[in-house]
Structure 1
Amino acid sequence: MLKPIFVALIALTLASPALAQTGDRTERLLAELADAPGPPGFEEDVRRIVVREVKPLADSVTYDGLGSVIAKQGASGPKIMLDAHMDELGGVVRRVTGTGFLSMQMLGGWLDQALPDQRWIIIGSKGPVRAVTGIRDIHVVPAEERTRVFPRDSLYLDVGAKNAAEVAALGIGAGDPVVPDAPFAALANGRYLGKAWDDRVGVAVVIEALRRLKASGHPNQLYVAATVQEEVGLRGARTAADLIKPDIGIAIEGGITGDSPGRNPEETQAVLGGGPGIFLYDSSAIPNRKMVALVADTARAAGIPLQRDLVQGYGDDSAAIQATAGGVPTVNLVVPARYTHAHNGVIDRGDFDGMVDLVVALIKRLDTTTVAGLRDFTP
């Protein structure tokens, strides 16, 4: 019988130094969220953390049919959907070979060069099992192949088993979820290393914003949606929006920085530590122009630096939200992150705190009159 996935989280917590570290409440929340396993379709552990955090802050907590969490705060005014997705890049076991290796179906937009010689955790029926994707030894690789990127279908997970029976004895098999093994760590200068900042950093933002808005109040019905399966097609955002029928949608995401060496300046202009960002364009969505102006004005009034960016090859939940309920004005706000869609990313605490400040100030401005103006397209 399959054990609850929370057993895996307990084991991961015991094995990881993240939650044993000192730090304030926000740092501890970021660490717990980053370390939690949750590839698309397997968000149980992340959902458990989210529900624990939002229940004391919300008037009600409900779920859509895919498992997204919807926490409502406020009984009157326009409906504001504040979104962040719980899932991360990962995979599922595809098959087990006779010699005890496992092939993997990737979930989400992985680069092939990010996959070899990495540590992974497979969540099986008996708890987590550590694995590594192998890499060929340089001693036997021909010189002409040493700079080649090997395709993902040539990679196998090695759990140390000698045959398929030993793999089965570990409690793992086809269909089991796989996540990066990359524990949270606090770096110098208020920067945090960890996996899954896309989009656990957004999940932490919406939780902290909900906490502050509980104390200060706001003029609307705020729906915080922690959604599922964003990395495989923005699915949870659509189903959650179908239930909420929002007047306004705000997605909070992990952004992309261009400040590390060797980057093309046309890829992205955001820098770590430069403040929260706003996407003026990505491959999935063009934001509402009035929303963009309101965000910029809110940031300026609050003295929050705002980074503007346009990124190709990027999709986010605002695209799914804006195409529901007859059309919803939306915007995508981002916490800059280095090295997304890989095992190890880096974020800046100042950028995170600035985003929480911005979201709280923005929600407070979204009263009935302001929202009506944002939704008015009369020539």
Structure 2
Amino acid sequence: MKRSTVALAAMLATTVTLPATAQDRTKDLLRELADAPGPSGFEEPVRKIMVERMKPLADDIRYDGLGSVIARQGSSGPRIMIAAHMDELGGIVRRTTPNGFLTMQMLGGWLDQAIAGQRWIILGSKGPVRAVSSIRDVHLAPQEERGQLIRRDAVFLDVGASDSAGVAALGIAPGDPIVPDSPFIDLNGTGNYAGKAWDDRIGCAVLLVAMERLKASGHPNQIFFTATVQEEIGLRGARASTAIVKPDIGIAIEGGVTGDSGGAKPEESQVELGGGPGLFLYDSSALPNRKLVALIKATAKQAGLPLQLDLVQGYGDDSAEMQTVGGGAPTVNLVVPARYTHVHTGIINRRDFDQMVDLVVALVRKLDAKTVAEIRDFTP
């Protein structure tokens, strides 16, 4: 895995380096995190980035038994857990066919229509291998098939091999991880960035930048900046890390869902790209604490920050585990809006990201012992 990770990093490092005076450290961080391969259960390259950047900012770093990173900052005050997950949607190699194609076990909530006709990278034992997912050729498909969904079990990976021996020679075997091939791009100078894995590398970036700012300014808490694993296959890392942290307050930082692209219905999402950070009032896994919601609204207003409110079906996040494990804690899910999640390429807005960092930093500074005690008081 180490050899393939190093080789992949070298292969993906094709962007032009800007002069030092023009370097945008935040954009570089977003690019590095988005481009890193890390499907559920194979988060090593992302964990390496997170740990290297957390070390000089943390009092100590621990890991749960699944590989989540728990970086503590501060030694007294309320225990505030701020979590973002490192894993992305991807897959693993299931088997090789006699004629050299591969089948995939998908990891996470893919739409079937997002899988066919795409480029992928397989992390094999000899390094990264480029692949293309098959699609029914339009010249062969009868008219009645052309508008139909291609099911995932009808999609194969093509690595150019002609037989199973050719696949093995490339260093590919069952169980090898697969990620989308979709490098980061600054989208035409619009302030929007396109790339893979914004769910939830955007949250990982918020953790790192907020951690740096809070280290410099100070805060009244013990903050546990937690980069979790295996969120996309059942919130598993958050469950394990919450049992270690035992938070007084839990905050998940996620990639949100926008309703501003073509085909979305008004009741599906009210969030727009470029409209500022978002706050979930409901999702399928968790209801936020109402006092914490009120504090976030007041904090955003006081700081002059926009705040978008949303309710989304079919969505789960790490706050659900922080909310219930070990006796429970008041939690909330804050989101950086993202278009096109759970597909090869999504889009985020830089200002939304910067404003989310501002909101998280301002919120943490307000969570002193008295405020946390009031939020946790359920006395009638």
TM-score grouping bracket, smaller chain normalisation: over 0.9
* In structure 1, distance between residues paired with 2:11 and 2:87: 17
Tell me, what secondary structure is at the counterpart of 1:189? coil
- Check conservation: 1:60, 1:72, Cα contact below 8 A: yes
| Structure 2 residue 301 is the aligned partner of structure 1 residue 281 | no
1:323–1:19 distance in 2 versus 1, CA, 3 Å: farther
Alpha-carbon deviations, 1:49-89, whole Å to 9, x = none?
00011101001111111000010000000100000000000
Partner amino acid, structure 2, of 1:299: A
* In structure 2, distance between residues paired with 1:324 and 1:174: 34
| Structure 2 residue 80 is the aligned partner of structure 1 residue 116 | no
1:65–1:274 distance in 2 versus 1, CA, 3 Å: same
Partner amino acid, structure 1, of 2:356: M
1:277–1:75 distance in 2 versus 1, CA, 3 Å: same
- Check conservation: 1:18, 1:184, Cα contact below 8 A: no
* In structure 2, distance between residues paired with 1:68 and 1:3: 18
Matches within 5 A, 1:13-32: 13-14=12-13, 16-17=14-15, 23-32=23-32
Alpha-carbon deviations, 1:171-222, whole Å to 9, x = none?
0110000000000000122110000000000000010000000000000000
* In structure 2, distance between residues paired with 1:23 and 1:143: 51
Tell me, what secondary structure is at the counterpart of 2:280? strand
Matches within 5 A, 1:28-39: 28-39=28-39
Partner amino acid, structure 1, of 2:155: L
Partner amino acid, structure 1, of 2:31: A
1:18–1:300 distance in 2 versus 1, CA, 3 Å: farther
Query: Displacement, 1:11?
Result: 3.0
Normalised to the residue count of structure 1, the TM-score between the two structures is 0.97
Q: How many equivalent pairs are there? A: 377
Partner amino acid, structure 1, of 2:143: A
Query: Displacement, 1:47?
Result: 0.2
Matched with 1:80 is 80
1:102–1:197 distance in 2 versus 1, CA, 3 Å: same
Query: Displacement, 1:7?
Result: 1.8
Matched with 1:58 is 58
Tell me, what secondary structure is at the counterpart of 2:106? strand
- Check conservation: 2:258, 2:272, Cα contact below 8 A: yes
Partner amino acid, structure 2, of 1:297: A
- Check conservation: 2:3, 2:126, Cα contact below 8 A: no
- Check conservation: 2:78, 2:372, Cα contact below 8 A: yes
Matched with 1:356 is 357
- Check conservation: 1:91, 1:179, Cα contact below 8 A: yes
Matched with 1:194 is 195
Alpha-carbon deviations, 1:305-358, whole Å to 9, x = none?
000000000000000111112011000000000000000100000000000000
Tell me, what secondary structure is at the counterpart of 2:190? helix
| Structure 2 residue 314 is the aligned partner of structure 1 residue 316 | no
- Check conservation: 1:63, 1:70, Cα contact below 8 A: yes
Partner amino acid, structure 1, of 2:204: V
Matched with 2:217 is 216
- Check conservation: 1:11, 1:128, Cα contact below 8 A: no
* In structure 1, distance between residues paired with 2:16 and 2:341: 20
* In structure 2, distance between residues paired with 1:60 and 1:80: 15
Query: Displacement, 1:239?
Result: 0.5
| Structure 2 residue 15 is the aligned partner of structure 1 residue 11 | no
Identity of aligned residues (%): 67
**Structure 1 residues without counterparts, runs of 5 or longer:** none
Tell me, what secondary structure is at the counterpart of 1:353? helix
Query: Displacement, 1:5?
Result: 4.4
* In structure 1, distance between residues paired with 2:16 and 2:113: 27
Alpha-carbon deviations, 1:26-54, whole Å to 9, x = none?
00000000000000000000000000111
Matches within 5 A, 1:174-189: 174-187=174-187, 188-189=189-190
* In structure 2, distance between residues paired with 1:140 and 1:107: 30
Tell me, what secondary structure is at the counterpart of 1:324? helix
- Check conservation: 2:9, 2:36, Cα contact below 8 A: no
Deviates more, 1:331-340 or 1:183-192: 183-192
**Structure 2 residues without counterparts, runs of 5 or longer:** none
* In structure 2, distance between residues paired with 1:20 and 1:159: 34
* In structure 1, distance between residues paired with 2:126 and 2:70: 31
- Check conservation: 1:18, 1:185, Cα contact below 8 A: no
Structure 1 segments (4+ residues) deviating >3 Å: 2-5, 18-23
Tell me, what secondary structure is at the counterpart of 1:323? helix
Partner amino acid, structure 1, of 2:52: R
Matches within 5 A, 1:1-379: 3-14=2-13, 16-17=14-15, 23-187=23-187, 188-379=189-380
* In structure 2, distance between residues paired with 1:257 and 1:45: 28
* In structure 2, distance between residues paired with 1:229 and 1:148: 32
- Check conservation: 1:248, 1:330, Cα contact below 8 A: yes
Normalised to the residue count of structure 2, the TM-score between the two structures is 0.97
1:18–1:118 distance in 2 versus 1, CA, 3 Å: farther
* In structure 2, distance between residues paired with 1:19 and 1:79: 40
* In structure 2, distance between residues paired with 1:8 and 1:109: 28
Partner amino acid, structure 1, of 2:27: E
Query: Displacement, 1:9?
Result: 3.6
Partner amino acid, structure 1, of 2:5: F
Aligned-pair Cα RMSD in Å: 1.2
